[in-house]
Structure 1
Amino acid sequence: MIELVKATLSDIPAMQALVVSEVKDGVILNRSEDEVATNIRSYVLAKDKDKIVGYTALHVHSKRLAEIRSLIVDENYRGQKVGQRMVEFTLNEAKELGVEEDVLVLTYLPLFFAKLGFTEINKELIPEHKIWADCIKC
């Protein structure tokens, strides 16, 4: 059974190993070990016993805006609703933290998020600080 748990610093090497092929394919941004460590409290892991089979992060930009980042699921676990469960977990976390309005996702997989109720917006609506902080890397 897949369990969702918060990440710890000792999880970083396995997290980095999981994302290598997706970074090479340009599907997900590369985040250094230091960047992941700095934001470790933002990450939730999907674990099958001791194996990390997916993860994502919730990055809070302001009281009105949060972002789901770095969603990855091991290809052997896709189609089992692991990604959906992690998205639902982060949406609940955003609500519990008091995010008042929107949760943003920048993705190369818009159909996945559309199935979960997300809608596509015009890129001009993305906050400028988000563009300069992360999207400049795309």
Structure 2
Amino acid sequence: MDISQLESITEAEALEILSLSEQLGYGNNFEMLLGRLQEIIPLKDHAIFVAKAEGKIVGWLHCLICLRVESPLFVEVTGLVVDENARGQQIGKNLIETSKKWSQNRGISTIRIRCNVLRTETHKFYQALGFFSTKEQKVFEMSW
């Protein structure tokens, strides 16, 4: 398995990311997803890492530097997906470790990740990696 930071994106890679995202129930329009990836990849305060096995993306992680008025800089992992057929092979752990190194290279020593309260197995995964729960929230959304 090889982990690298995306510096560009092909349609085939975007389709693999789309397929993995759908495994967690995230519905996406392919063209919109591709457009977002193309926007995010060149941003210096964002990183998208992919894990590939035999040339195919089997996991991805998106993280970004959060600059907030009320708290010191931290990196937030905003998305992490590992192919359901490749779980248990340290892919998620290695993606987290890669994001940790990326954070450290930017002088940031805190990583946060949000997880749906229903994903209790995922909570155990993060806790095994050294994360601890700091609070629970409700998410409010407004569309227009």
TM-score (norm 2): 0.74
1:9 Cα offset (Å): 1.6
SS class of match (1:46): strand
Contact 1:23 1:30 survives alignment (8 Å):
no
Amino acid at match of 1:20: E
Does structure 1 residue 71 correspond to structure 2 residue 80? yes
Contact 2:49 2:61 survives alignment (8 Å):
yes
> Quick one: distance in 2 between partners of 1:77 and 1:44?
16
Q: Where in structure 2 are there 5+ consecutive unaligned residues?
A: 117-121
RMSD, matched Cα: 2.4
Alignment of 1:6-45 (within 5 A): 6-7=5-6, 8-10=8-10, 11-24=13-26, 32-33=32-33, 34-41=35-42, 42-45=47-50
> Quick one: distance in 2 between partners of 1:30 and 1:23?
9
Contact 2:64 2:75 survives alignment (8 Å):
yes
> Quick one: distance in 1 between partners of 2:64 and 2:17?
17
1:20 Cα offset (Å): 1.1
Cross-structure match for 1:49: 54
> Quick one: distance in 1 between partners of 2:25 and 2:28?
6
> Quick one: distance in 2 between partners of 1:30 and 1:114?
29
Cross-structure match for 2:98: 89
- Write 1 or 2 for the structure with the bigger share of helix: 1
SS class of match (2:51): strand
Q: Whose Rg is larger?
A: 2
SS class of match (1:75): coil
Aligned residues: 122
TM-score (norm 1): 0.77
Q: Deviations over 1:23-53 (max 9, x none)?
A: 25xxxx8694122322125100000121000
SS class of match (1:23): coil
> Quick one: distance in 2 between partners of 1:105 and 1:30?
21
Q: Where in structure 1 are there 5+ consecutive unaligned residues?
A: 125-130
